[in-house]
Amino acid sequence: MQSKTKLGLAAALVAGSLSSPFAQAADRPAGLAALGPPPIPADNPQTPEKVELGKMLFFDPRLGGDGSISCASCHEQAAGWGFPDALSLGYPGTVHWRNSQTVINSAYYGKLFWAGSSSSLESQAKSAASGAVAGNGEADMMETRLAFIPEYRKRFKEVFGDEWPRITNAWRAIAAFERTLVQTDTPFDKYMQGDDNALSAQQQRGLDLFAGKAGCIACHNGALLSDESYHNIGVPPAAQWEDDGLAQITFRYELYAKGVTEPMYRSTKDDPGLYFRTKEKADKGKFRTPSLRYAKYTAPYMHNGALATLRDVVDFYNAGGGENEFSANKSGLIEPLGLNEEEIGDLLAFLDSLSGPEIEMEEPDLPDYAPLQ
């Protein structure tokens, strides 16, 4: 069994301001790169104290509606910092409607969530904690809870200068912590930097397929292995929507809340994806390309967890994708690949090189409430 990396705070804290790939060997495939430090926004610089506060808040369920769900509830370390089920955990009395993506390397995304509805980790943290079928938290209630915890009052004062903890600074602290959850030392990164022995012969054959015959690089490119664009690849609808009443309620609520037309509300049985944001028919069924980094640990896959394993993912693409309600918008990039069993094995071996050891850490002890004096 592969050993796991114990991520200490000092080692995890990333210094720097802008993301740029490390220098890499000239003979590596064009369009791919090693991963450099994550971008750090000028208005939310990293400090060890801020990261430590963000770590506590990430694991604290009091940043939510009824105090039962934290960020870590939907982003479990043991599930690749994602969620092990096809659809993520919902607020009590609900079921979520999409699969939780891993937060590992989320610091590099310019577009968060499957349809890119947040442009920063700060806004993503707020949206997740406040979303009706996610955290369902009210800002004033969450802020008041923080004010009744002496340890948080002390830490918010030290980190942000707050006389009383401000909820907006809670999101900034969580984002700072998440920017330490990065992995830049995978076998793939080492190979791209010039270490010819970092990938096995089979993995190098898989890389050639990835950048060539299999065409994965068309969307999974750059240092993050994501073009951050939106594509409909024919992922079938979530099976859970067919036989789970709570899941159906959640899905209909999302259709209503995001303002679809009346006919669409009554007839649609599939996730419209980017359409929710643009209301353009051509965007129905499109989702942002996820990074393939750390994918070894983040099953199941796709926006609704429709594919259970990486082998299922490769078989799906090899068959030319699938069909869904919005297949009229299916990307022209998706077509049968004609990979044989040996080539599938090579490609899977390469995908394995995009992950290093699992990232895990001790969960923090959370401070108690105390009456105001």
Angle at the Cα of 268 (from 253 to 235), degrees rounded to 5?
105
CA distance 11 to 275: 41
Structure-block tokens of residue 69: 């769900």
Residue 102: its pLDDT value, please?
98
- 287 bridge partner residues: 231
- 6 bridge partner residues: 360
Classify residue 209 by its DSSP letter: H
**CA 255 distance to own-chain centroid:** 22
What 3-state class would DSSP assign to 286?
strand
**Length of the chain, in residues:** 373
Report which of 307, 322, 318, 319 is spatially closest to residue 346, judged by C-alpha positions.
Answer: 318
pLDDT tens series, the chain, 373 aa: 333 433 333 333 333 333 344 556 778 999 999 999 999 999 999 999 999 999 999 999 999 999 999 999 999 999 999 999 999 999 999 999 999 999 999 999 999 999 999 999 999 999 999 999 999 999 999 999 999 999 999 999 999 999 999 999 999 999 999 999 999 999 999 999 999 999 999 999 999 999 999 999 999 999 999 999 999 999 999 988 888 999 999 999 999 999 999 999 999 999 999 999 999 999 999 999 999 999 999 999 999 999 999 999 999 999 999 999 999 999 999 999 999 999 999 999 999 999 999 999 999 999 999 998 8
Q: Which CATH architecture group holds 5-18+36-182?
A: Orthogonal Bundle (1.10)
Residue 237: its pLDDT value, please?
95
H/E stretch holding 269 reads none
If DSSP states are collapsed to H, E and C, what string results for 185-246?
A: CCHHHHHHCCCCCCCCHHHHHHHHHHHCCCCHHHCCCECCCCCCCEECCCCCCCCHHHHCHH
Identify whether the C-beta of residue 321 lies closer than 8 Å to the C-beta of residue 285: no
**Domain boundaries of the chain, sorted by first residue:** 5-18+36-182, 187-352
Identify whether the C-beta of residue 64 lies closer than 8 Å to the C-beta of residue 257: no
Residue 25: its pLDDT value, please?
78
Q: Which CATH architecture group holds 187-352?
A: Orthogonal Bundle (1.10)
Count CB-CB contacts under 10 A for residue 152: 24
Residue 23: its pLDDT value, please?
56
Identify whether the C-beta of residue 147 lies closer than 8 Å to the C-beta of residue 373: no
Model pTM score: 0.93
Comparing 5-18+36-182 with 187-352, is the CATH topology the same? yes
Query: How far from 233 is each of 10, 20, 110, 149, CA to CA, in Å?
Result: 41, 30, 21, 47
What 3-state class would DSSP assign to 6?
strand
